[in-house]
Amino acid sequence: MGKEQQSQLDAILRQGGLDTAADVASVRAAFNALMAQVPVPADVQQKPVEIGGVGGIEVTIAGNESEGVILYFHGGVYVIGSAATSVPLVSDLVRRTGVNAITLDYRLAPEHPYPAAVDDGRAAYEGLLKQGMDPGQIVLAGESAGGGLAVATLLASREAGLPMPSCAFLMSPYADLTLSGETMFERQSLDPVLTPEGLRVRAPEYVAGADPSNPLISPIFGDLSGLPPLLIQVGSHEILLSDALRLAGRAATTDVAVTLYVTPGAPHVFQGFAGLLDEAGTALDRASDFVKAQLGYSPSPVDTA
């Protein structure tokens, strides 16, 4: 990453940063207003859909001929964000992979704490299977909390005896709601997006009295055996860096194929800034190559009884 690009993006993020510790209504409104300013290319088509009883947006680009689908989970610390706010990033992924996507409006805390989001993720995935989709043609993907939710959805689906999808692509996964990662504090001065204080406010709204080390809440504490290949991307300037590192380590030690890319100097979910950072485009190109290589591969579900 060019130092000039990095400095410019850092300044932009710090200037327009969200106060994730603010009251729920305020932070939601601020985030929605911010994301509404991000343009969506004219050739991107959006259609409201319902899959497995869960609402979402189907994101397509004319000319895509893949039989596959990306089931996408947006970020927002399980409290903010929506399918609509994820469309700019999702559409870039759709364009590069040639695979259309469904981005989910899973239920948010504090109105709907755990396990609502996981239940919605599993229901949507099962809904695709009930429509007759080959699991080997399904990709799970997500950023931040959505990255953690994608893994939790895999674990919940495995426990339910469902076949695994082809793969999962995780950007800056929020995978430890105990907030115990070393970089939570070591990278605090470098991270222009997230703060430990903000996460300490939001995490209890989702956990809501449950055990935050439950693998369906914090996948880094889970048995990941039997999961499909994972691609994990994270920036070195994130307080969530250690979430990604530990998740990759957990996958590797349970014989899950995992590829981890740590981009030096990059902020949280830097892939959303492909127009500003060369490395963001490179990361999405790597994701595209990964998705194309994995479609059609589906490991057998593991008996965890």
Enzyme catalytic residues? 144, 238, 268
Q: Assign residue 144 a region: left if phi > 0, alpha if psi is -120 to 50, beta otherwise? A: left
- Dihedral (CA of 31, 286, 165, 226) sign: negative
Q: What are phi and psi of 141, to 5 degrees?
A: -150, 155
Asked if residues 118 and 156 have their Cβ atoms less than 8 Å apart, the reply is yes
- The tokens describing 62, both together, are 């004319």
Shortest CA distance to 2 belongs to which of 233, 280, 238?
Answer: 280
CA 268 to chain centre: 11
